[in-house]
């Protein structure tokens, strides 16, 4: 297991979130508290991505500093680390 260090915690209140219901079964909720659907991990992730606010995309590896000036949705350049 890899330990992840986060220098700054940035929370967002406008994206969907996932709640585990039972083993390998999840509920996906909108930021406003509406259930968007249920499913396994893959289906839940697809629901989250499909319901992201405009201008948002899936997570990319790296830190905020790594991404400085990068275009949204583009993975950071590993050479900059």
The pLDDT tens digits for 52-63 are 988 887 677 777
More confident residue, 70 or 46: 46
Looking at residue 9, what is its pLDDT? 54
- Please tell me the distance from the alpha carbon of residue 16 to that of residue 31, in angstroms, as a whole number: 5
- Please tell me the distance from the alpha carbon of residue 48 to that of residue 16, in angstroms, as a whole number: 6
pLDDT band at 1 (very low <50, low <70, confident <90, very high): very low
Q: Is residue 75 over pLDDT 70? A: no
Looking at residue 8, what is its pLDDT? 55
Q: Is residue 39 over pLDDT 60? A: yes
Cβ(73)–Cβ(60) under 8 Å?
yes
């Amino acid at each position: 297991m890899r330990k992840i260090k986060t220098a700054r915690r940035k929370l967002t209140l406008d994206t969907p979130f996932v709640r585990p219901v039972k083993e390998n079964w999840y509920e996906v909720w909108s930021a406003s508290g509406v259930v968007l659907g249920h499913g396994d991990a893959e289906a839940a992730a697809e629901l989250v991505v499909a319901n992201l606010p405009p201008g948002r995309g899936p997570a990319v590896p790296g830190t905020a500093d790594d991404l400085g000036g990068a275009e949204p949705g583009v993975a950071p350049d590993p050479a900059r680390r």
